[in-house]
Amino acid sequence: MSKINFLKPDKSNLYTFLYLGSFLFFVSVLDVLLNSFFSLNLTGFLPGFLSFLLPLILGFIGLYFIRIELSGIKQLDLLNKHINTNNFNAVLSLLIIFIILKSIPPILSWFVIDASFAGDSKDVCTGTGACWTYIKVWMRRFMYGMYPNGEQWRINLSFIALALLGSVGYFATDRFKKYLTLYYVVIYPFIAFLFIFFFISGGPVFFDFSYGIIAAILSIIIGFFIPSKFKFYYFLIVPFALYVLLKYFIFYEELIELGKLDGLNWVETGAWGGLSLTFIISFFCLIFCFPIGMAFALGRRSGFPLIRYISIGFIEFWRGVPLITVLFMSAVMFPMFLPADFFIDKLVRCIIAISLFEAAYVAEVIRGGLQALPRGQYEAAKSLGMGYWRMHIFVILPQALKLVIPGIANTFLALVKDTPLIFVVGLLEIVGMLNLAKTNPEWLGFAMEGYVFAAIIFWIICYAMSKYSYNLEQKYKTDR
Amino acid sequence: MNFKLKDIGPQLMTVIAVVLVFGFFTYNAQVNMENRGIDFGYGFLSQESSFDVQFSLIEYDGSHSYFRAYLVGLLNTILVSVIGIFLATILGVLVGIARLSPNYLINKFAAFYVEFFRNIPLLLQIFFWYFAALRALPLPQDAEAMFGISFLTIKGLFVPAFIWENFNIFFYSIVAAIVAIIVIRTHAKKVQETQGKQIPVLLISIGLIFILPLLSFLIGGVRLSFEVPVLKQLATTSFIYEGGVSLPPELIALALSLSLYTATFIAECVRAGIQGVGKGQKEAAASIGLTQNQVLKLVVMPQALRIIIPPTTNQYLNLTKNSSLAAAIAYPDLVLVFAGTALMQTGKAIEIVSITMFTYLSLSISISLFMNWYNNKIAITEK
């Protein structure tokens, strides 16, 4: 046995150092553990300051002793490599271990041990822990807002149906795979709109939007017979003309009452709310902002200077202002810009505002993808004789969009996180409902539980989305 | 001149569409305002505002004009943005470096922080801090002093105020120190380029920035004293601290949540920047005999900063724009004071919303112009 130098642990006295070091380390961890879980203070006999720092000092000396390079013990080497590379790292590791040990008991007791779950009134919440009864009682309000209790099956049914229809892509056989894009871009949003409008809101069949749909479908069908030379001008003029014709000359107000679905009460959008409204708004904004953003991304790279400047102006304007002022604008300024007898629903105005706002961000992301494509792709497509639209739809966009999946996912994530801001126009989704419930005189003092509940829900949604986008990115990663 | 319909047609169509939409809006706005008896104009800015603001950096009460109310809101927005940017940068850089640490625990701890705070909506975080966390603070009479001089209570943070004598001399001494440091740095660079000698610039800089202000205290006649906040009884159960500087809880909640939220994004920028510097660069630098610190200072950081700074500025801009969420917890920022209270009082929706938007727009456009200039300046010029 060689001489032991305690300032310089080395391999020759490996086991002496190992036993001594691990002993000191475990004593320090044990001290903190007992202190936090059982409120025992082993070092209480020491003066306050020293008693406070003793675990750190002991742990530090312990880690110093076991920091022996190439000890030949696999676990020890791993430990040294990961948490114990030098003095500084050792102190930080100890601090983190202590913080975790210290914070587990209070968090656990607040969440579970001292929390109250049972009952349905405030009286059961007497403990020091969380009052989950509050969440339980208000659950329907947090999920559905002011939507009448008896009618909530309509929301549930619509969401389940839409989720099922949305998952069609996973079960599609190869034969139908080529129609999936069409399905998701055109048909699915349309079905979703019908569900929301007729089923959740209980609206009439004939209204402005359905005139628009009919006009669009009619003009597309007629469009097949128009020579391609005039197609551009045809699609600029005819759909609008058809819409005006349908709205003002063919259908009359009396038909509106006829079109209502039997047995479904009209629920005005002001009563919608809670988490379901978060979903509805995110869903529609997500659908609308993507094509608008794509159009402006193409416009910004267009060869026509006027179109380019208009696109730049649009994008920079929306990117430069905060969403809250955009919503303010939609609430107080936008009605001034419309004819006096023309009324647009609050929720629709809100969706338009958020869609335009997010479209500017989507446009910038897509532009990044367009710029990243090598020039050769454009030139190759042109040399095959493809025109502008053909080149973009079949060659450029499929590659560019693949490149920007993470960016678009981030924008959508920001969109979901921005939905609570609609409180500005008086719509109450889950965070707004929490603020309402908080001021209820029967249930004062449970703000913390409400916010923690909403935070958990949002965290799960956003984290799942970011992981999903990461998976997509890996799946579509092409070697270039 | 050879105009083709193919080139002109789409542009003309777009312009006509845009003009039509704007014309439609303007026409309706005119009709609506006529019907409601509102006249368009910015003359109201010089009228007396007759409302009060809780917290303002400049002297303000109801007798001042609407323009001054606008300034109060703007200054409050700038105040919370500057505090937020300062804290977010420190935290973000620390967490970003921690994310690259070889230490498993530190690495995971930082990753947990980033994933946790950036996946929760900012508004929810602001509400949490303001309505839940800060409400748990003690009342003014029960508060314990931090370091004996400042008090964190439910009514805000009360810190001592600095009372300066001859503040301008102190200020000049700091300016002189900064100028001296810049001169020395330039000189040191020249010396290194011509003679290959290194001058310990960092040590000299630290020395200068401490010694010159110290001299201003010793011989310049600068005096500094503190005004410690003192508890004062307003009514039998109502207490408040007087003297010193008081920061309202709205400001604390807002600055805290903005910086915690934005720090996660800055941390990711920093991590991406440092990871973006090729391993070969570090190895090459080490192989020509640079020490670990020199590698970091002369090779890694200049290249990493080139990647880090543009997205980070973007985050600063986001933070400034997000500070408009202040309206939700009644911190008197630009949106609350001007687009809220002033709009309710005057009813001039178009004018006020347009001024507010224009303010934010000019802020972000000036920053993005600066960023373009900076990007061009630091871009690696390839041959």
Q: What is the least distance, in Å, from the CA of A176 to any CA of chain B?
A: 36
Of B31, B128, B322, the CB nearest to A451: B128
Q: pLDDT over 90 for what percent of chain A?
A: 5
**Statement: residue A146 has pLDDT above 60:** yes
Q: What residues of chain B lie within 8 A of the CB of A434, using their CB?
A: 127
Helices H, strands E: what count in chain A? 23, 2
Q: In this predicted structure, what is the pLDDT of residue A258?
A: 52
Domain boundaries, chain A: 11-113, 121-147+268-480
Residue A395 or residue A12, greater confidence: A395
Chain B interface mutation, best of A422, A451, A452, highest count of B Cβ atoms under 10 Å: A451
Of A97, A337, A462, the CB nearest to B28: A337
Of B11, B32, B102, the CB nearest to A304: B11
Work out how many CB contacts closer than 8 A connect A with B: 158
Residue A203 or residue A396, greater confidence: A396
Angle at A31 between CA A29 and CA A33, to 5 degrees: 70
Q: Do A328 and B7 touch (CB under 8 A)?
A: no
Q: What residues of chain A lie within 8 A of the CB of B35, using their CB?
A: 340
* Contact criterion met (CB below 8 Å) for A426 and A272: no
Spell out the residues 6+ positions from residue A286 whose beta carbon is closer than 8 angstroms to its own: A412, A415
Q: Do B349 and A447 touch (CB under 8 A)?
A: no
Q: Do B124 and A458 touch (CB under 8 A)?
A: yes
Q: In this predicted structure, what is the pLDDT of residue A424?
A: 84
Q: How far is CA B259 from the centre of its chain?
A: 9
Q: What residues of chain A lie within 8 A of the CB of B364, using their CB?
A: 319-321
**Statement: residue B5 has pLDDT above 70:** no
Q: In this predicted structure, what is the pLDDT of residue A52?
A: 75
**Statement: residue A480 has pLDDT above 50:** no
Residue B98 or residue B376, greater confidence: B98
Among the ranges given (A15-19, A348-352, B78-82, B310-314), the one the predictor scored with the smallest mean pLDDT: A15-19
Q: In this predicted structure, what is the pLDDT of residue A148?
A: 79
The rounded distance, in Å, linking the Cα atoms of A189 and A195 is: 10
Taking residues B141-168, report their average pLDDT: 74
The rounded distance, in Å, linking the Cα atoms of A203 and A347 is: 14
Domain boundaries, chain B: 66-132+248-378
What are B292-307's pLDDT values in tens digits?
A: 778 888 888 888 888 8
Q: In this predicted structure, what is the pLDDT of residue A73?
A: 77
Of B105, B125, B132, the CB nearest to A447: B132
**Statement: residue B311 has pLDDT above 50:** yes
Q: What residues of chain A lie within 8 A of the CB of B38, using their CB?
A: none
Q: In this predicted structure, what is the pLDDT of residue A456?
A: 92
Chain A interface mutation, best of B127, B261, B325, highest count of A Cβ atoms under 10 Å: B127
The rounded distance, in Å, linking the Cα atoms of B150 and A444 is: 30
* Contact criterion met (CB below 8 Å) for B80 and B249: no
Q: What is the least distance, in Å, from the CA of B30 to any CA of chain A?
A: 8
**Statement: residue B383 has pLDDT above 50:** no
What are A236-279's pLDDT values in tens digits?
A: 777 778 877 777 776 655 555 555 555 667 777 777 888 888 88
Q: In this predicted structure, what is the pLDDT of residue A459?
A: 93
Among the ranges given (A164-168, A426-430, B95-99, B243-247), the one the predictor scored with the smallest mean pLDDT: B243-247
CATH fold of A121-147+268-480: MetI-like fold (1.10.3720)
pLDDT band at B122 (very low <50, low <70, confident <90, very high): very high
Residue A216 or residue A382, greater confidence: A382
Closest-CA residue in chain B for A339?
Answer: B28
Chain A interface mutation, best of B31, B103, B333, B361, highest count of A Cβ atoms under 10 Å: B103
DSSP per position, B124-142 = HHHHIIIIIIGGGSPPGGG
Task: Find, among A458, A144, A425, A140, the residue nearest to A280 by Cα.
Answer: A144
Q: Do A337 and B349 touch (CB under 8 A)?
A: no
Q: What residues of chain B lie within 8 A of the CB of A336, using their CB?
A: 28-29, 32-33, 349-350
Q: What residues of chain B lie within 8 A of the CB of A317, using their CB?
A: 361
Q: What is the least distance, in Å, from the CA of A325 to any CA of chain B?
A: 7
Q: Do A336 and B123 touch (CB under 8 A)?
A: no
pLDDT band at A107 (very low <50, low <70, confident <90, very high): confident
Q: In this predicted structure, what is the pLDDT of residue A2?
A: 58
* Contact criterion met (CB below 8 Å) for B316 and B60: no
**CA separation, residue B124 to residues A210, A462, B331 (Å):** 37, 14, 16
Task: Find, among B89, B126, B70, the residue nearest to B254 by Cα.
Answer: B126
Of B105, B116, B135, the CB nearest to A96: B105
Q: What is the least distance, in Å, from the CA of A180 to any CA of chain B?
A: 30
Helical packing angle, A274-300 and A132-144, nearest 10°: 50
Maximum mean pLDDT: which of A24-38, A121-135, A248-262: A24-38
Q: Do A321 and B357 touch (CB under 8 A)?
A: yes
ipTM: 0.83
Of A310, A424, A458, the CB nearest to B121: A458
Q: What residues of chain A lie within 8 A of the CB of B94, using their CB?
A: none
Among the ranges given (A209-213, A219-223, B124-128, B209-213), the one the predictor scored with the smallest mean pLDDT: A209-213
Q: Do B29 and A337 touch (CB under 8 A)?
A: yes
Q: Do B121 and A419 touch (CB under 8 A)?
A: yes
Q: For residue A230, what are its two tokens?
A: 């005039």
What are A328-376's pLDDT values in tens digits?
A: 888 888 888 887 777 777 888 888 899 999 999 999 899 888 888 888 8
Residue B345 or residue A254, greater confidence: B345
Maximum mean pLDDT: which of A34-38, A131-135, B19-23: B19-23
Q: What residues of chain B lie within 8 A of the CB of A329, using their CB?
A: 353, 357
**CA separation, residue B112 to residues A10, A96, B117, B308 (Å):** 36, 12, 9, 22
The rounded distance, in Å, linking the Cα atoms of A391 and A381 is: 6
Q: What is the least distance, in Å, from the CA of B29 to any CA of chain A?
A: 5
Closest-CA residue in chain A for B364?
Answer: A320
Which residue has 């001039």 as its token pair?
B348
Q: Do A337 and B25 touch (CB under 8 A)?
A: yes
Closest-CA residue in chain A for B23?
Answer: A337
Average pLDDT over chain A reads 81
Average pLDDT over chain B reads 82
Q: What is the least distance, in Å, from the CA of B288 to any CA of chain A?
A: 26
Q: What is the least distance, in Å, from the CA of A299 to any CA of chain B?
A: 11
Q: In this predicted structure, what is the pLDDT of residue A206?
A: 54
**Statement: residue B111 has pLDDT above 60:** yes
Q: What is the least distance, in Å, from the CA of B7 to any CA of chain A?
A: 7
Backbone angles phi, psi at A131, to 5 degrees: -110, 85
What are A85-96's pLDDT values in tens digits?
A: 778 888 888 888
Q: Do B119 and A418 touch (CB under 8 A)?
A: no
- B156-159 and B239-242 as β-strands: parallel, antiparallel, unpaired? unpaired
Q: Which CATH class is domain B66-132+248-378?
A: mainly alpha
Q: Do B15 and A462 touch (CB under 8 A)?
A: no
Among the ranges given (A180-189, A433-442, B330-339), the one the predictor scored with the smallest mean pLDDT: A180-189
Q: Do B119 and A435 touch (CB under 8 A)?
A: no
**Statement: residue B1 has pLDDT above 50:** no
Work out the burial of residue B169: count CB atoms within 10 Å of its CB; fewer than 13 is exposed, 13-18 middle, 19 or more buried.
middle
* Contact criterion met (CB below 8 Å) for B61 and B72: no
Taking residues A34-46, report their average pLDDT: 74
Spell out the residues 6+ positions from residue A464 whose beta carbon is closer than 8 angstroms to its own: none
**Statement: residue A23 has pLDDT above 60:** yes
The distance between the two most distant Cα atoms of chain B, rounded to a whole number of Å, is 87
Q: For residue A229, what are its two tokens?
A: 């030379």
Q: Kindly compute the dihedral angle of the four CA atoms of residues A217, A220, A221, A222, in this order, to the nearest 10 degrees.
A: 120
